Amino acid sequence: MSLPRDLYVGFTGSPLDRAEPARHDAGALAALAGNPAALLLDMPDYLPPTIDGALDWKPLPPLPAEELLLLGLIDGIPRFARIDPEAVAAKRWAELMTVLDNLSLGEAGTYAAARSVLDWHARHRFCANCGAKTAPHHAGWARLCLRCGTEHYPRTDPVVIMLAEYEGRVLIGRQPGFAPGRYSALAGFVEVGESIEEAVARELREEAGVIATAVRYVASQPWPFPSQLMIACIADVADDSVTLDMAELEDAKWVDRAEVETSLRGDEGAVFGAPPRYAIANSLFRAWLAGR
């Protein structure tokens, strides 16, 4: 882990040892599943089962091999989730946000991995190559087409999220669906054929009409709704004139350090409502204040 210890990045820091070799070794997988200490993170509704702010693991019941998702080992104990063959794709419930506020950083990271993989299984029952049915493979970390033999792997979609910086201020924006008063860093999916730096520059130009002259990487985060990799950056820009794409943003404004500090603290009279602490936009604001 190369993250600065004082930079909190949501959904990172899981203590999982992913035990990758066991995914390709049926004997090793059976031994882990047959371990009487093996535990299950049971979440048929994709919500994390919790007890006292931690994940609530249950003894692993006997399950068919094709329903086993081997998450890995924690404290040397095998950890599994169940791939429900009838599951439907996850929705994002409002109550999940409250649950996440009460989970520790590493626990939320373990949950994020399990949720993204289970949700991917529910969305990928058929082969993108030939259309036939697929089945879980490699201890739940792949699916195998039962007709053409193509292997499919859980997807991770890269998204850049960035602060444009100009003369001691950063640009924040507001999407139409945000809670009242909420502003955040600008963001967008990395497109095929683009580098991270090029995606940052393109999104800033498209959404706000600002021209990036330099881009620096700050941190990244797995985001399990459903499976993005958020890549946080800060971009120097040529000037502070803004031309909004109203289809993407309903407002944007430049804020200085004091305004970001009061917003992160949630002070009365703060000029904007900051993103929640498990969102990497929150970490990005903190990194900027820390001079990174």
CB of 130 to Zn ion, least distance (A): 3
Q: Is 127 in the site for Zn ion (CB under 5 A)?
A: yes
Give the whole-angstrom CA distance, residue 76 versus residue 80: 13
Distance of CA 145 to the CA centre of its chain: 27
CB of 150 to Zn ion, least distance (A): 5
Q: Is 143 in the site for Zn ion (CB under 5 A)?
A: no
Give the binding range for Zn ion (CB under 5 A) out of 32-40, 103-111, 130-138, 200-208.
Answer: 130-138
106 burial (CB, 10 Å; 0-12 / 13-18 / 19+) is middle
Q: Is 130 in the site for Zn ion (CB under 5 A)?
A: yes
* Closest by CA position to 131, among listed 117, 151, 153, 147: 147
Q: What b/e sequence results for 36-51 when a residue is b if at least 16 CB atoms lie within 10 Å of its CB, and e otherwise?
A: eebbbbebeebebbee
Residue 246 dihedral angles phi and psi, to the nearest 5°: -70, -15
Q: Is 129 in the site for Zn ion (CB under 5 A)?
A: yes
Asked whether the beta carbons of 244 and 164 are under 8 A apart, the reply is: no
Q: Is 146 in the site for Zn ion (CB under 5 A)?
A: no
Count, residues in the chain: 292
Give the whole-angstrom CA distance, residue 33 versus residue 14: 21
User: For the chain, how long is the longest CA-to-CA vector?
Assistant: 63
Pick 50 or 150: Cβ nearer Zn ion: 150
Pick 65 or 148: Cβ nearer Zn ion: 148
Pick 53 or 131: Cβ nearer Zn ion: 131
Mark 150-169 with x for binding to Zn ion (rule: CB under 5 A) and - for no binding. x-------------------
Give the binding range for Zn ion (CB under 5 A) out of 2-10, 66-74, 145-153, 176-184.
Answer: 145-153
According to the 3-state scheme, what is the secondary structure of 10-79? CCCCCCCECCHHHHHCHHHHHHHHHCCCCEECCCCCCCCCEECCEECCEECCCCCHHHEEEEEEECCEEE
Pick 130 or 289: Cβ nearer Zn ion: 130
Give the binding range for Zn ion (CB under 5 A) out of 38-46, 143-151, 269-277, 280-288.
Answer: 143-151
Give the binding range for Zn ion (CB under 5 A) out of 28-36, 127-135, 230-238, 271-279.
Answer: 127-135
Pick 126 or 166: Cβ nearer Zn ion: 126
- Residues 201 to 260 in contact with Zn ion, rule: CB under 5 A: none
Pick 150 or 262: Cβ nearer Zn ion: 150
Give the binding range for Zn ion (CB under 5 A) out of 71-79, 148-156, 159-167, 244-252.
Answer: 148-156
CB of 135 to Zn ion, least distance (A): 11
The residue from 148, 238, 289, 290 that contacts Zn ion (CB under 5 A) is 148
Q: What b/e sequence results for 231-263 when a residue is b if at least 16 CB atoms lie within 10 Å of its CB, and e otherwise?
A: bbbbbebeeeebeeeeebbeebebbeeebbbbb
* Closest by CA position to 225, among listed 156, 134, 174, 160: 156
Pick 31 or 130: Cβ nearer Zn ion: 130
Give the binding range for Zn ion (CB under 5 A) out of 8-16, 62-70, 122-130, 227-235.
Answer: 122-130
Residues near Zn ion (CB under 5 A) are: 127, 129-130, 132, 145, 147-148, 150
